[in-house]
Chain A
């Protein structure tokens, strides 16, 4: 019995070490490779040429200035929604509300179309509007969590739906474009970021994104507030014992996350969008919040890591569009599949970390294996 237990724990420790002992960055790279390989398998099964398709995708996304710029344009909002998720995760909470906060930020940014301001000021006002709207939308779940103990996973998902339907109402009733009923009024030219590289989607907004990521990094790792946020995320009881006001840090993390998500909407609508307007079902903003979670996971919830992983996901999407033009025209949905597999793979080592219960079952597993081998030997 004790022998089995010892062997089981050795086996488990081996698996555990293999899965968790990797350098975090290496783990992400591994997950990306697994995702791409699985995508290749699917392509091969359905009769496409994975080598041609991936060559088109990766060369198209990362080797010329057009591809790099388009990848960066897709990456920019993803960086911000990834920060939303990881700031809250660093504070020990699972915030799925970026999707709704993005929508609210978008509506606020659009509303600057109602008034006229000089160019630079108009940008600032639009950005502030979007950030404030995103931040306010995050306060709801934060208050529910801090005063009534409502699980933030539930409340943020619910707030996403409220934002979704509120946006349908506001777009249809208030912000509607009188000339084209499928979209809102457009953000005026005086509040639009000009293109960094003409003929691509990349705008000057990218500097705001990088700057925001660096600020978040500085706040979290080089200020007392950031230390408190991270400490209460690592161990809430110890942090409270150490004199940190948990509720305050949680609130801060939520609001900062909301601000980041609101900014993401502004970056899309004031930057890459063709019409600088929101469509009826906010198609341009859809999934930006959820994709941000994938980016945060691969970026190991670190602002600098997120910059790189967002660029990777941006490249996947920008290159994925090009795959359709290759001699092996893979459907554009393949990219979503690869992203899903990557998220799935990323969660495997996490599972090994959080389920020590596996240990109990492994004792039985080793015992059973032993019984089988020994009975075979006897025969």
Chain B
């Protein structure tokens, strides 16, 4: 009898636990999992919530753009999800169509600011997760420009995906950073190195071959390295960098790869990454639902006129230039995503590459970072085509 009671108790506890497990749906665009960047970062944020709050994580892929609306709607109609996360601005249209029909369903969207449709999303049930990508891109640009100056290169390169406000943040920051570095180098060593920017929008977030050929072209034009601003395309960019080293017979030194979103410093020939903690943003959205503050947060942000329920900045480490601690964390991330990594060799290589740059460079980067943090340096940004044109006119960086 006693045993039966215990069994019953266990059953009841087990069932109540099963019922109370909350669920999050991560809806991906056609890029999908396995990019060791944007999409995998969103997923790892949900995995963290799984470990901490016991949430269940379901990832939903799309065969084509036709699947975006039905995938969001099916998840909402299913009714079992406590939060639905749309990963990336390609899902903006789908969220705008579905979210008003399900006012009690909590949604979050990465990379889309709060604002009127069709290019933004708005609603009491939508949390916007956005980033000040210009801040860490300024650091990447400054580091790239100074690296170019030290090694006698003339350019820093960037391969960007589909233009839009998110990528304009990156480009504006890059331009600001390179210009700042040119001035700073002049102050330190007497001559302005005049490092310029090579940039190409390839209008794709999944065409690795195009990334590879674009990178090869930029290297041929004198780029010291290439900053990947197109998620999965980075694999192609990185191949081009490795090919350049193979052809030149070099093992260390330039050209360098600069990763994005995740810390990709565990890739070979990678000096730094412009980190954008999509995982933290997704985790914060899940945490808001877990703690029951989701609706209040969204309402408060709307009242304050903020761009999002989560804004990743240099200050809250939502965006940052990769550091040693990040490398240790993200080697695990890379291994989990299927990369073949020699743990100690990778760390040793990375440390060697960084040590090869003069201390003056690292001091200057630290100065820029501190300046952005305390507000004495304001990094320019851009949202629209007009903003971007103005920034390009201000920081021409070699363009006529």
Identify the A interface with B (CB < 8 A).
66, 70, 74, 172, 178-182, 199, 201, 268, 272-275, 279-281, 283-284, 286-287, 317-318, 320-322, 324-325, 329, 331-333, 335-336
**Could you tell me the distance between the alpha carbons of A334 and B97 in the complex, rounded to whole angstroms?**
27
Chain B residues whose CB sits within 8 angstroms of the CB of A281 once the complex forms: 204
Does B101 sit at the interface, judged by CB under 8 A?
yes
Chain B residues whose CB sits within 8 angstroms of the CB of A317 once the complex forms: 63
Q: From A281, which residue of chain B is reached at the shortest CB distance?
A: B204
**Complex partner residue of A325 from B30, B74, B93, B204, CB under 8 angstroms:** B74
Cβ of B162 and Cβ of A321 under 8 Å apart? Answer: no
Cβ of A324 and Cβ of B63 under 8 Å apart? Answer: no
Chain A residues whose CB sits within 8 angstroms of the CB of B63 once the complex forms: 317, 320, 332-333, 335-336
SS class, residues of chain A in contact with chain B:
loop
Chain B residues whose CB sits within 8 angstroms of the CB of A318 once the complex forms: 70
Chain A residues whose CB sits within 8 angstroms of the CB of B367 once the complex forms: none
Known contacts A179-B119, A272-B66, A324-B71; can you find 4 more A-B pairs with CB under 8 A? A66-B77, A199-B73, A321-B74, A324-B61
Does B103 sit at the interface, judged by CB under 8 A?
no
A378 CB to closest chain B CB, in angstroms? 59
Q: From B77, which residue of chain A is reached at the shortest CB distance?
A: A66
Identify the B interface with A (CB < 8 A).
25, 30, 58-71, 73-75, 77-78, 90, 93-94, 97, 101, 118-119, 162-164, 201, 203-204, 385
**Could you tell me the distance between the alpha carbons of A68 and B60 in the complex, rounded to whole angstroms?**
21
Cβ of B204 and Cβ of A283 under 8 Å apart? Answer: no
Q: From B76, which residue of chain A is reached at the shortest CB distance?
A: A199
Cβ of A181 and Cβ of B162 under 8 Å apart? Answer: yes
Chain A residues whose CB sits within 8 angstroms of the CB of B164 once the complex forms: 180-182
**Could you tell me the distance between the alpha carbons of A285 and B102 in the complex, rounded to whole angstroms?**
28
**Could you tell me the distance between the alpha carbons of A333 and B71 in the complex, rounded to whole angstroms?**
14
Given known A-B contacts A179-B119, A280-B203, A283-B64, A329 and B58 have beta carbons under 8 A apart = yes
Cβ of B70 and Cβ of A201 under 8 Å apart? Answer: yes
Q: From A322, which residue of chain B is reached at the shortest CB distance?
A: B74
**Complex partner residue of B90 from A74, A179, A181, A182, CB under 8 angstroms:** A182
Q: From B102, which residue of chain A is reached at the shortest CB distance?
A: A199
Cβ of A283 and Cβ of B203 under 8 Å apart? Answer: no
**Could you tell me the distance between the alpha carbons of A286 and B73 in the complex, rounded to whole angstroms?**
22
Cβ of B74 and Cβ of A283 under 8 Å apart? Answer: no
Cβ of A280 and Cβ of B204 under 8 Å apart? Answer: yes
**Complex partner residue of A180 from B59, B64, B78, B119, CB under 8 angstroms:** B119
Cβ of A172 and Cβ of B203 under 8 Å apart? Answer: yes
Cβ of A324 and Cβ of B60 under 8 Å apart? Answer: yes
Cβ of A287 and Cβ of B64 under 8 Å apart? Answer: yes
Among A180, A201, A287, A320, the one with the most B-chain Cβ atoms within 10 Å of its Cβ is A180
Cβ of A274 and Cβ of B97 under 8 Å apart? Answer: yes
Cβ of A279 and Cβ of B65 under 8 Å apart? Answer: yes
Cβ of A284 and Cβ of B203 under 8 Å apart? Answer: no
A-B contact pairs, 27 of them (CB 8 A): A70-B70, A179-B119, A182-B162, A201-B69, A201-B70, A272-B69, A273-B65, A274-B69, A280-B162, A280-B204, A281-B204, A283-B65, A284-B66, A286-B64, A287-B64, A320-B63, A321-B60, A321-B74, A324-B58, A324-B59, A324-B60, A324-B71, A325-B75, A329-B58, A332-B60, A335-B63, A336-B63
Chain A residues whose CB sits within 8 angstroms of the CB of B75 once the complex forms: 325
Among A70, A274, A283, the one with the most B-chain Cβ atoms within 10 Å of its Cβ is A274
Chain A residues whose CB sits within 8 angstroms of the CB of B58 once the complex forms: 324-325, 329
B260 CB to closest chain A CB, in angstroms? 18
**Could you tell me the distance between the alpha carbons of A268 and B69 in the complex, rounded to whole angstroms?**
13
**Could you tell me the distance between the alpha carbons of A268 and B75 in the complex, rounded to whole angstroms?**
22
**Complex partner residue of B62 from A279, A280, A332, A335, CB under 8 angstroms:** A332
Chain B residues whose CB sits within 8 angstroms of the CB of A70 once the complex forms: 70
**Could you tell me the distance between the alpha carbons of A325 and B66 in the complex, rounded to whole angstroms?**
18
Cβ of A332 and Cβ of B385 under 8 Å apart? Answer: no
A169 CB to closest chain B CB, in angstroms? 12
Chain A residues whose CB sits within 8 angstroms of the CB of B70 once the complex forms: 70, 201, 318, 321
Chain A residues whose CB sits within 8 angstroms of the CB of B73 once the complex forms: 199
Cβ of B66 and Cβ of A268 under 8 Å apart? Answer: yes
Cβ of B67 and Cβ of A332 under 8 Å apart? Answer: yes
B103 CB to closest chain A CB, in angstroms? 13
Q: From B80, which residue of chain A is reached at the shortest CB distance?
A: A325
Cβ of B163 and Cβ of A181 under 8 Å apart? Answer: yes
Given known A-B contacts A178-B385, A324-B60, A329-B58, A283 and B30 have beta carbons under 8 A apart = yes
**Complex partner residue of B61 from A182, A279, A284, A331, CB under 8 angstroms:** A331
Given known A-B contacts A182-B164, A321-B71, A325-B58, A284 and B65 have beta carbons under 8 A apart = yes
Among A179, A273, A283, the one with the most B-chain Cβ atoms within 10 Å of its Cβ is A283
**Could you tell me the distance between the alpha carbons of A172 and B162 in the complex, rounded to whole angstroms?**
12
**Could you tell me the distance between the alpha carbons of A180 and B118 in the complex, rounded to whole angstroms?**
10
B69 CB to closest chain A CB, in angstroms? 5
**Could you tell me the distance between the alpha carbons of A66 and B70 in the complex, rounded to whole angstroms?**
10
Chain B residues whose CB sits within 8 angstroms of the CB of A199 once the complex forms: 73, 77, 101
**Could you tell me the distance between the alpha carbons of A324 and B94 in the complex, rounded to whole angstroms?**
18
Given known A-B contacts A275-B93, A321-B74, A336-B63, A182 and B119 have beta carbons under 8 A apart = no
Q: From B161, which residue of chain A is reached at the shortest CB distance?
A: A182
Among A66, A317, A325, the one with the most B-chain Cβ atoms within 10 Å of its Cβ is A325
Q: From A287, which residue of chain B is reached at the shortest CB distance?
A: B64
Among A268, A272, A324, A333, the one with the most B-chain Cβ atoms within 10 Å of its Cβ is A324
**Could you tell me the distance between the alpha carbons of A281 and B90 in the complex, rounded to whole angstroms?**
13
Among B64, B70, B74, the one with the most A-chain Cβ atoms within 10 Å of its Cβ is B70
**Complex partner residue of A274 from B30, B93, B119, B385, CB under 8 angstroms:** B93
Chain A residues whose CB sits within 8 angstroms of the CB of B62 once the complex forms: 332
Cβ of A332 and Cβ of B61 under 8 Å apart? Answer: yes
Cβ of B60 and Cβ of A325 under 8 Å apart? Answer: yes
The 7 A-B residue pairs with the shortest CB-CB distance in the complex, in nearest-first order: A274-B93, A181-B163, A182-B162, A283-B65, A275-B93, A274-B69, A284-B65
Chain B residues whose CB sits within 8 angstroms of the CB of A287 once the complex forms: 64
A187 CB to closest chain B CB, in angstroms? 13
Chain B residues whose CB sits within 8 angstroms of the CB of A286 once the complex forms: 64
Q: From B60, which residue of chain A is reached at the shortest CB distance?
A: A324
Chain A residues whose CB sits within 8 angstroms of the CB of B201 once the complex forms: 181
Chain B residues whose CB sits within 8 angstroms of the CB of A280 once the complex forms: 162, 203-204
**Could you tell me the distance between the alpha carbons of A66 and B69 in the complex, rounded to whole angstroms?**
13
**Could you tell me the distance between the alpha carbons of A22 and B389 in the complex, rounded to whole angstroms?**
67
**Could you tell me the distance between the alpha carbons of A284 and B67 in the complex, rounded to whole angstroms?**
9
Chain A residues whose CB sits within 8 angstroms of the CB of B60 once the complex forms: 321, 324-325, 332
Q: From A178, which residue of chain B is reached at the shortest CB distance?
A: B385
**Could you tell me the distance between the alpha carbons of A336 and B30 in the complex, rounded to whole angstroms?**
15
**Could you tell me the distance between the alpha carbons of A179 and B388 in the complex, rounded to whole angstroms?**
13
**Could you tell me the distance between the alpha carbons of A179 and B69 in the complex, rounded to whole angstroms?**
21
B23 CB to closest chain A CB, in angstroms? 10
**Could you tell me the distance between the alpha carbons of A318 and B74 in the complex, rounded to whole angstroms?**
10
Chain A residues whose CB sits within 8 angstroms of the CB of B25 once the complex forms: 325
Chain B residues whose CB sits within 8 angstroms of the CB of A201 once the complex forms: 69-70
Cβ of B61 and Cβ of A181 under 8 Å apart? Answer: no
